[in-house]
Amino acid sequence: MYRKHGILGSLWRHAVLLVFVVFALFPILWVISASFNPANTLVGQGLIPPNPSLDNYREVFTSEQYPIALWIKNSVVIGLITSTLVVIMTSFAAYAFSRFRFKGRRTGLFASLLIQVFPQMLAAVSIYLLVLSIGRLIPALGLNTHAGLIMVYLGGAMGVNAWLMKGYLDTIPTSLEESAMIDGASPFQAFYMIILPLARPILAVVFMLQFIGTYSELILASVLISSTEKYTLAVGLQLFIQDQYASRWGVFAAASVLGALPIVLLFLFLQKHLVTGLTSGAVKG
Amino acid sequence: MAKLVKGVFLGILNVVFIWTALFLYSSEAYLVLVLLLLGAALVNFVFISERAYPYRYLLPAAFFMILLVVYPIVYTVYVSVTNYGTGNILTKEQVITQLQERRILDAEAGNYTYQAYRDGEGQLWFVFTGPQGELLLGHAGELTPVQEGDARLARLAEFTELARADLVRATNEISALSFALDEARQLQMRNINYFGVYRPQYQYSRERDELLDLESGIIYQPVLGYFQAPDGTRLTPGFREIIGFHNFSKLLTNPQVTGPFIRVFIWTVQWALLSVATTFSVGLFLAILLNDPHLRLRRFYRSVLILPYAVPAFISALIWRGLFHTELGVINRVLQATIGSGVPWLQDPVWAKVALVILNLWLGFPYMMIVCLGALQSIDVEMYEAALVDGASSWQQFRHITLPLLMVSVGPLLISSFSFNFNNFSVIYLLTRGRPPIVGAQTPAGHTDILISYTYRLAFESGRGVDYGLASAVTLVIFLITGAITFFNFRFTGALEEVRKNV
């Protein structure tokens, strides 16, 4: 399919690719530049800031009215806790589906497949009302609590991830556990000491996809969380910049750079694993 | 050892259950209590019975999925056939109680003058003088008839009597008080000088399920969530009630709702199709360029072009909103400098849609590029060699070899991408918020709203009050469409067969 091309042939290819490189990079560079521009406004911004400074970053960490650094921390903490719990719970469920034969197994598999069809955020209204009534009984899990938000995320994460993980566990041969069980290991020990270590790549993929998804989730977080100091970055940042591009652009840019950093690093670091997960059907939020 | 761990674990779990049960009992949430006890029994059974062993692994995931996905879906179905929303938030019982507590002034009963005192603890005491000169001592909602010279009256001398200026200052506090005159009637502040007698306005009859206005004699009957008089007058607030398919028929027959709904619907489909088409064609095009082994700098291009995908979408969308800013944005500044005029990106319905598609192209092409690169690499090179021998042109090779083979692996991803964008709330909400608004719509709807953002605004953001019922009805429409698409996709990928075979 591919032949060696002449000068003209490679010239247009590089020209086209460069156009897309500019398209891909421009917004990112533009924001990085703005984050170092002390003018803090969209008005008359150039690509190279005239008197670069760290003022905007300082503002991110010190502003009392808009505690952006705290929002980033909230997002990271909620993301870490949710992803950890999701990995634990789905690996249990996936192990059962993959290794045991029991009544209702097919129904369960079918249900977890069907439930993926309904994105949880669609039921935001019901979830809001549900959390409202849970909060009346158990205030710690009610509206405007991180624990309540995490609880909601846990529910939404089960279907997709259990399915993804079960597929992977099916590819691990059962002979390893069988020999362990002959040596007297219980099924739980076999799961814990043999399966989990072997399943590390898929655990990493599920963890990351879940972290990225939780970190970027907007609709449920904005419905459930209502006080400034509890916002996640996704909720807080859009309220911060809303119609304030002329007066908050620089601080927003610094917040964007800091807020995107955890995800970009995670992404670049684990790109290989991610690509495997992506081609098997996960779509990033 | 394992037994011990299990015992301790189950013990802790049961302590939590019992503690929660006691708490629920004391807060009188009996229905939830019963559910909890059933759940606790199930947990204990699953952990003690050997036959139920596999279910131990499923319990946590199943619990969260049922509580937070299955139940909300069921509840959405329920809400969609109710009138739940502003004006109909309370239950019928609560509305009846509220209406029965509504009182009107009994003008014939006359006025009660009063003197108010404050004791050492800040509590208020009153001495009322009735129209016939009778004296009443009032404190903490209760009235005691007293005679002149009563010892209880003498005690008031130790308290501070409130002067007129104090009364004015304490008006809010005093007007919130009421004193029971008898079972039905109360004394309440009428103005700074007098208390008046207030009696209930309505009386509810449980047998006939109707509300009687004691003054006018009009009978109100419950109709579609309101107590309604024969002439059609409604009492507010209304209560929430099952109203059947009213919300769905409103979507289809009420011109002020239907028009915007259909427009939103059509744009949602266009949006999802455009998103998939643009990201896929650009992604595939770049993948074909980058798959060329003779191309230099391949790795550089690949890692740079992937970057937009690594930035969280909610941040990118907000950044692009700055770039598209009509007066200050860099895009319009460049357009101004080159072609002499900018574009009203976020104010004009058509340009707002163009802006959305450009943003989503930026967000989505790297994903398509990665996926297509993977798929291209798995195509056997010999196919092309055979085609070359037969004298096929590059276009024919692409059309008859690359595309069909690519579609096998990428096709399902395109379908999931379609349904993902069908519900891509953040991009729409963060770039345009659904604006510009559709003029003349009764519900809050904008030209760039897709179904999910429209639902969100119906439920949470309408200035004219929220309408959970209608929002849930639209949600069910989305469920239906997303479900149908995904089901089709399952057939396509054979996921259902996998379940069927996997016994």
Whether B423 and A124 have beta carbons less than 8 Å apart is answered as no
pLDDT, position A272: 67
Question: Which of A5, A40, A72, A125 has the most B C-beta neighbours within 10 Å, making it the best mutation to test the interface with B?
Answer: A125
CB contacts of B32 in chain A (<8 Å) are: 137
Element (H, E) at B161: strand B160-161
What is the tens place of the pLDDT at every residue in B414-425? 888 888 898 888
- Predicted confidence at residue A255, as pLDDT, reads 94
Count of alpha carbons within 13 angstroms of residue A82, beta-carbon side? 31
CB within 8 Å: A281 and B475: no
Question: What is the spatial distance between Cα B319 and Cα A249, in angstroms, rounded to a whole number?
Answer: 9
A7 touches chain B (CB under 8 A): no
For the domain spanning B257-501, the CATH number is 1.10.3720.10
Q: pLDDT, tens digit, for every residue of B220-275?
A: 888 888 888 888 888 888 888 888 888 888 888 888 788 888 899 999 999 999 99
CATH number for the domain including A168? 1.10.3720.10
Give B2's contacts in chain A (Cβ within 8 Å): 186, 188-189
**Are the Cβ atoms of A121 and B24 closer than 8 angstroms?**
no
What percent of chain B is modeled with pLDDT above 70?
Answer: 97
On whether any CB of chain B is under 8 Å from the CB of A216, the answer is: yes
Q: Is residue A97 within 8 Å of A165, Cβ to Cβ?
A: no
- Interface probe, candidates B32, B59, B69, chain A, greatest A C-beta count within 10 A: B69
Cis peptide before B237 (omega within 30 of 0): yes
Q: Residue A120: its chain B contacts at CB < 8 A?
A: 68-69, 72
A32 touches chain B (CB under 8 A): no
Confidence (pLDDT) at B281: 95
Alpha-carbon gap: B211 to the closest alpha carbon of chain A (Å): 29
- Assess whether pLDDT exceeds 50 at residue A20: yes
The beta-carbon neighbor of B65 closest among A105, A115, A122 is: A115
Probe site for chain B from A116, A117, A122 (most B CB atoms < 10 A) = A122
Flag whether pLDDT at A1 surpasses 70: no
Domain residues for A95? 60-279
Give the model confidence (pLDDT) of A26-36 as tens digits.
999 999 998 99
Q: What is the pLDDT of residues B277-333, one digit of tens each?
A: 999 999 999 999 998 888 888 889 988 998 998 899 999 999 999 999 888 888 888
Give which of A29, A40, A30 is closest to A246, Cα–Cα.
Answer: A40
- Asked if the model's pLDDT at residue B211 lies above 80, the reply is yes
Element (H, E) at B111: strand B111-118
Residue among B128, B160, B131 nearest B144 (CA) = B128
Q: Is B441 left (phi over 0), alpha (psi -120 to 50) or beta?
A: beta
- Residues linked to residue B145 through DSSP beta bridges, in sequence order: B136
Cα–Cα distance between B267 and A165 in angstroms, integer? 36
pLDDT at B96 over 80: yes
pLDDT at A181 over 70: yes
User: So what's the pLDDT on residue B462?
Assistant: 64
Is A66 in CB contact (< 8 Å) with chain B? Answer: no
Q: Do A218 and B54 touch (CB under 8 A)?
A: no
**Per-residue model confidence (pLDDT) at position B502:** 61
- Contact (CB, 8 A) for A119 and B482: yes
Sketch the domain layout of chain B as residue ranges.
92-97+203-243, 103-200, 257-501
| pLDDT at A285 > cutoff 70 | no
Angle at A87 between CA A85 and CA A91, to 5 degrees: 120
Q: How far apart are the C-alpha atoms of B175 and B40, rounded to whole Å?
A: 50
| Per-residue pLDDT, A274 | 61
Q: Do B356 and B431 touch, CB atoms closer than 8 A? A: yes
Mean pLDDT of B14-25: 86
Confidence of residue A253 (pLDDT cuts 50, 70, 90): very high
Which DSSP category does B156 fall into?
Answer: G
Q: Give the model's pLDDT for residue A273.
A: 66
- Does a structural domain hold residue A24? no
Alpha helices in B112-202 (DSSP H): 151-155, 164-169, 171-175
Full strand arrangement of the beta sheet holding B234-235: B202-205, B210-213, B219-223, B226-228, B234-235
Give A284's pLDDT tier (boundaries 50, 70, 90): very low
How far out from the chain centre does Cα A235 lie?
A: 14
- The amino acid sitting at B227 is F
Which residues contact residue A258 at a Cβ distance below 8 angstroms, ignoring those fewer than 6 apart?
A57, A60, A68, A69, A72
Rounded to whole angstroms, how far apart are CA atoms B474 and A123?
11
Q: Inter-chain contact A278–B371, Cβ cutoff 8 Å?
A: yes
**Which CATH fold would you assign to the domain B103-200?**
Periplasmic binding protein-like II (2.40.430)
Residue A138, classed as helix, strand or coil, is coil
Query: B336-390 pLDDT, tens per residue?
Result: 888 888 888 888 999 999 999 999 999 999 989 988 988 888 888 888 888 888 8
Neighbour tally for B458: CB within 10 Å? 24
Q: Is the minimum CB–CB distance between A171 and chain B shorter than 8 Å?
A: no
Chain A from 107 to 166: CB within 8 A of any B CB? 108-110, 112-113, 115-130, 137-138, 151-152, 154-156, 158-159, 162
Amino acid at B497: E
- CA–CA min distance A17, chain B (Å): 7
Q: Which chain A residues touch B329 with a CB distance below 8 Å?
A: 42
Count of pairs with CB atoms under 8 A, one residue in A, one in B: 278
- pLDDT band at A283, cuts 50/70/90? very low
Q: What is the pLDDT of residue A200?
A: 85
- Which of B4, B5, B9, B57 would best serve as a mutation to test chain A binding (most A beta carbons within 10 A)? B57
pLDDT at A277: 52
Q: Which of A115-124, B70-79, B131-140, B375-384 has the lowest mean pLDDT?
A: A115-124
What's the structural domain count of chain A?
Answer: 1
Eight-state DSSP code of residue A228: G
Nearest to B72 among A4, A28, A130 (CB): A130
d(CA B166, CA B173): 11
